[in-house]
Structure 1
Amino acid sequence: MFLAWKEIKYNKLRYTLITGVLVLVSYLVFFLSGLANGLEQLNREAVDKWNADGIILTEESDINLPRSNMNIDDFNGKGVEAYAALGQLNAIASVGERQSNVSIFGIKEDKLIMPDVTEGESFSEKGEVIADDTLQEEGFQIGDELEISSSDTVLTIVGFTDNARFNAAPVLYTNMDTLQQVRFGEAADNNEGVVNGFVVRGDNLADVSVDDELQVVETSTFIENLPGYTAQNLTLTFMIYFLFIISAVILAIFLYVLTIQKVSMFGVMKAQGIPGKYLAKSVVAQTFQLAVAGVAIGFLLTILTGFFLPAAVPVAFDYLTMLLYGLVLIAVSVLGAFISVRTIVKIDPLKAIGG
């Protein structure tokens, strides 16, 4: 460790450049992990808010809520602790020049998926909605009358709730009658009992009794089948894993070049009786120090960046995940150093010093 630290102090510029590469790689890894976590939450916030164990959908829906259509009488709650009918519709809501993609949830006011109101009041009349607070950040306010795409129905915001986005769209909670009016217009009375699914809570979903046309899906499975959710997460995760490999390769190349440049010096040290094992440990220790410094600086820069990012950027840092990724980066960096270790062990002192 002493030899490793002395060499780093002596060749400051050289090792600063190596550390800089590690800083950039770790910064990118940490930021991508935050982006992956943020996008994940963006898609599933409203589902997590249900605090449910599963959802009942039609068999032909391919575990897709908008494609599932059934009657509210198709399930009577047999085998569950609690349940709630859910209607869902994707739309564009606008007030003047402001507009936003939204997901409208039709629910019963006294059921388990009713959200907590953080500002304003709950809906009580037809046409009233509770909106996710990200709409408030976009300039929407309590009392705004929302025009809904492909519908003549006007919705009025009476309250806001937090953490309620579904498939990246802010959620508008309203009663079933309002949703049916938005969805079917003048034909709403003829489709009064139509819902998209039932959110259920129970210890054993296998005990839930449903018709053959319906299926009970665990909440985790439902989330994984949200459009784009799994593909998006896999893409970002693969990018992070490739960065681990890139980090190891870059550091291995740097250290190998430095080792080749110091072959004669290592040869002299071996000729003086310093064992190759000690020199190898010195290189590993040196790599460990550089990796720790690079990862630590990258971590701090990522956290600092988070304070200046606008709310529109979907980044949410999970410090436990970041710590795990940091340890992996350090580990793969040290593994990359073993190419140089092999070279050091094979150095012949006589040949190295020109004997």
Structure 2
Amino acid sequence: MFLAWNEIKRNKLRFVLIIGVLMLVSYLVFFLSGLANGLASLNREAVDKWDASAIVLTEESDKSLLQSTMAIGELDTIEADETAVLGQINAIAQTGDKKANVSIFGIERDGFIMPVVTEGEEFSQENEVIAADALKEDGFKLGDTLKLSSTDESLTIVGFTDEARFNAAPVLYGDLATFQRVKFGEGAAENEDQINGIVVRTDDVSNITSNKELESIESETFIENLPGYTEQSLTLNFMIYFLFVISSVIVAIFLYVLTVQKISMFGVMKAQGIPSGYLARSVIAQTFILAAVGVVVGFILTLISGAFLPAAVPVAFDIFTMIIYGLILIAVAILGAVFSVLTIVKIDPLKAIGG
């Protein structure tokens, strides 16, 4: 450690450049992890808010809530501790010059998926809705009357709730009658018993329903099958994993070049009786210092950047995940130093000093 630290102090510019590269790589890794978490939250907030064990959909729906249609009477076939019916339809909501893609949930007021109102009040009659507070960012407010692209019906925002986005769209919660009027229009009376799914809480999700036309899907599986969710997560995670490899290669190249430049010095030190193990440990210690400083600076810069990002940027930093990624970056940097260590071990003192 003594040798490693003294060399860093004597060659500040050279090692600052290495720290800078590691800082930029770690900054990108941390930011991508925050982006991955943020985009995942856009898709799953409303489902996580249910705190449910599973959801029951029709077997032919291919695990898609929108494609599932069943009679509300199917609720009688469900065996679970708690159940809540759910209707869902997508639409474009407009008030004045403001527009937004929304997902409309039809629910029962006494169901466990009824959201907690953070501003305003709960819906009490048809065509009243509780809106996701994400709509505030688009300029929507309490009392706004919303015109919908899919129907002549108008909805009124009477309350707001937090963390309520489904498949990246803010959710509007209304009663089942409102949902059916929006979805079926003039035919609402004929389809008043139609819903899309049944959300359940239970300890055993394997035998929820006896109806072979229905299937119970665990909440996490349901989320993974949301359109684009898995593909998006895999893409960002692969980018992060490739950055780990890139970080290792960058450190390996830098340290190898530095080691080659110091072959004669290492040869003299070995000729003086300093063992290869001591020199190898010095290189590893030096790499640890450089990587640790670069990762910590990248970590701090990421948090500072996150504090100034606009709300429209879907970034959500998970400190625990960032710490894990930081430790991995330090580990792969040390792994990259192995090539330099092997070079030091193979140095012949006599050849290195020109003997």
Which bracket does the TM-score occupy, shorter chain normalised? over 0.9
Q: Which residue of 1 aligns with 2:293?
A: 293
Q: Which amino acid is 2:114 matched to?
A: M
User: Displacement, 1:78?
Assistant: 3.7
CA distance 1:84–1:238, shift in 2 (3 Å): same
- Does structure 2 retain, via aligned residues, the 8 Å contact 1:56–1:215? yes
Q: Distance in 1 between matches of 2:251 and 2:225?
A: 39
Q: Which residue of 2 aligns with 1:316?
A: 316
RMSD (Å) for aligned C-alpha atoms:
0.8
1:36 and 2:25 matched: no
The alignment's TM-score, normalised by the length of structure 1, stands at: 0.99
Q: Which residue of 2 aligns with 1:236?
A: 236
1:172 and 2:163 matched: no
Q: Which residue of 2 aligns with 1:27?
A: 27
- Does structure 2 retain, via aligned residues, the 8 Å contact 1:43–1:166? yes
Q: Which moved more, 1:31-40 or 1:73-82?
A: 73-82
- Where 2:313 maps in the other structure, the secondary structure is coil
Q: Distance in 2 between matches of 1:277 and 1:185?
A: 79
Q: Which amino acid is 1:259 matched to?
A: T
Q: Distance in 2 between matches of 1:140 and 1:181?
A: 22
Q: Distance in 1 between matches of 2:89 and 2:11?
A: 63
Q: Distance in 2 between matches of 1:111 and 1:41?
A: 23
User: Displacement, 1:209?
Assistant: 2.3
- Does structure 1 retain, via aligned residues, the 8 Å contact 2:26–2:299? yes
Q: Which residue of 2 aligns with 1:342?
A: 342
Q: Which residue of 1 aligns with 2:145?
A: 145
1:353 and 2:353 matched: yes
- Does structure 1 retain, via aligned residues, the 8 Å contact 2:209–2:215? no
User: Displacement, 1:77?
Assistant: 5.5
**Structure 1, unaligned runs of 5 or more:** none
- Where 2:212 maps in the other structure, the secondary structure is coil
1:141-220 correspondence to structure 2 within 5 Å: 141-220=141-220
Q: Which residue of 2 aligns with 1:71?
A: 71
Q: Distance in 2 between matches of 1:228 and 1:317?
A: 21
User: Displacement, 1:247?
Assistant: 0.1
Q: Distance in 2 between matches of 1:210 and 1:144?
A: 44
Q: Which amino acid is 2:314 matched to?
A: P
CA distance 1:180–1:78, shift in 2 (3 Å): closer
- Does structure 1 retain, via aligned residues, the 8 Å contact 2:121–2:158? yes
Q: Which residue of 2 aligns with 1:258?
A: 258
- Does structure 2 retain, via aligned residues, the 8 Å contact 1:126–1:177? yes
Q: Which amino acid is 2:219 matched to?
A: T
Q: Which residue of 1 aligns with 2:326?
A: 326
CA displacement 1:97-131 (0-9 Å, x = unmatched): 10000000000111111000011010011110000
- Does structure 2 retain, via aligned residues, the 8 Å contact 1:43–1:229? yes
- Does structure 2 retain, via aligned residues, the 8 Å contact 1:145–1:156? yes
- Where 2:73 maps in the other structure, the secondary structure is helix
Q: Which amino acid is 1:233 matched to?
A: S
CA displacement 1:273-298 (0-9 Å, x = unmatched): 11111111111100000000000000
Q: Which residue of 1 aligns with 2:86?
A: 86
Q: Distance in 2 between matches of 1:202 and 1:345?
A: 61
Q: Distance in 2 between matches of 1:192 and 1:209?
A: 22
Q: Which amino acid is 1:262 matched to?
A: K
- Does structure 2 retain, via aligned residues, the 8 Å contact 1:77–1:83? no
Taking only the aligned residue pairs, the percentage that are identical comes to 66
CA displacement 1:135-180 (0-9 Å, x = unmatched): 1122101110000002100000000000000001000000111111
- Does structure 2 retain, via aligned residues, the 8 Å contact 1:75–1:210? no
1:56 and 2:52 matched: no
- Where 1:75 maps in the other structure, the secondary structure is helix
Q: Which amino acid is 1:105 matched to?
A: F
Matched positions, count: 355
Q: Which amino acid is 2:196 matched to?
A: N
CA displacement 1:236-272 (0-9 Å, x = unmatched): 1111000000000010000000000100111111111
- Where 1:173 maps in the other structure, the secondary structure is strand
Q: Distance in 2 between matches of 1:314 and 1:223?
A: 18
Q: Distance in 1 between matches of 2:77 and 2:274?
A: 77
User: Displacement, 1:187?
Assistant: 0.9
Q: Distance in 1 between matches of 2:90 and 2:339?
A: 55
- Does structure 1 retain, via aligned residues, the 8 Å contact 2:77–2:211? no
Q: Distance in 1 between matches of 2:139 and 2:29?
A: 33
- Does structure 1 retain, via aligned residues, the 8 Å contact 2:56–2:198? yes
User: Displacement, 1:210?
Assistant: 3.2
- Where 2:66 maps in the other structure, the secondary structure is helix
Q: Which residue of 2 aligns with 1:224?
A: 224
Q: Distance in 1 between matches of 2:215 and 2:244?
A: 41
Q: Which amino acid is 2:6 matched to?
A: K
The alignment's TM-score, normalised by the length of structure 2, stands at: 0.99
